[in-house]
Amino acid sequence: MIAYLFPGQGSQFAGMGHKLSTHNPETTRIFHQANEILGFPVSELMCEGTAEELRQTKVTQPAIFVYSVALSRCMADRFHPNAAAGHSLGEFSALTACGALSFEEGLQLVAARAQAMQSACDLTPGGMAAIIGLADEEVERVCAAVTSGIVVPANYNCPGQVVISGDVKAVAEACTLLKDAGARMTVTLEVGGAFHSPLMAPASDALKTAVEQARIAPPRCAIYQNVTARPTQDPEVIRENLLAQLTGAVRWTQSLQCMFTDGVNSCLEVGPGTVLAGLVKKTNRAVGVESAACDDIN
């Protein structure tokens, strides 16, 4: 069984769209359609924008979504996943590539999500940090003991790597405590806010109507969603989990482990970069994994 994996924010890079934009008429059409839907030239930023321009949440999220979906369309003759999952933003790419959302509706939701998250960041500044070398349970215990503000595990990326998120002071306190608890390394991330934490509640409120009104069909294969790490093809469950994802943790480690238990023995990363391929290898080296590239597709 093969699972297709779709990356989230952080996988972008300058010039990421250049080869894909001219790969075939279908990708060119998708890039032009994205520009019209968004009202700004995202394709130009994907092809010629600087790393700093691509780092803006309102650009990053649509850019990665457009790239991932366009790449999946290039693979139409061999796009037959038995399962799929997306890391944070990538969940929208997975749902669109697997037929639960139309490209237009998926991109509109992603754009609304990015704007809502940016507004929440402006309202309540926050931070995130990667914690390396501690068990998930120890990270959870330490975060619960922090007294200077809200801090929670936000991304369970792979065994021994958890990202925490919350108030800036609380994240700093947690990092100190986690080092004392034996963390091999703590790395403050260059992000604009406390993603996947209670500080994103305003974003969830802002996105609620758009998600509730979205036309979601059963996807062609089971989608392992971030907040539950469980597979579903039920549109109403998908809808509920998409909203919960903004303030809930990305349970990526658990999602991969659940896939492997369910029989997945091969993964293909569909999107810019190779971040998810690396996380698969760190989670289970017995599982085969590759990253799709437009150079390899006819």
Q: Which residues are catalytic?
A: 88, 196
d(CA 162, CA 269): 20
CB 257 within 8 A of CB 119: no
Pairing mode, strands 127-132 and 161-166: antiparallel
CB 42 within 8 A of CB 59: yes
CB 100 within 8 A of CB 219: yes
Residue with tokens 């599982």: 287
Tell me how long the chain is.
298
CB 257 within 8 A of CB 224: no
Beta-carbon count within 10 A of 102 CB: 14
d(CA 90, CA 227): 13
Q: Provide the token pair at 13.
A: 């890079």
- The angle that helices 103-123 and 235-247 make with each other, rounded to 10 degrees, is 20
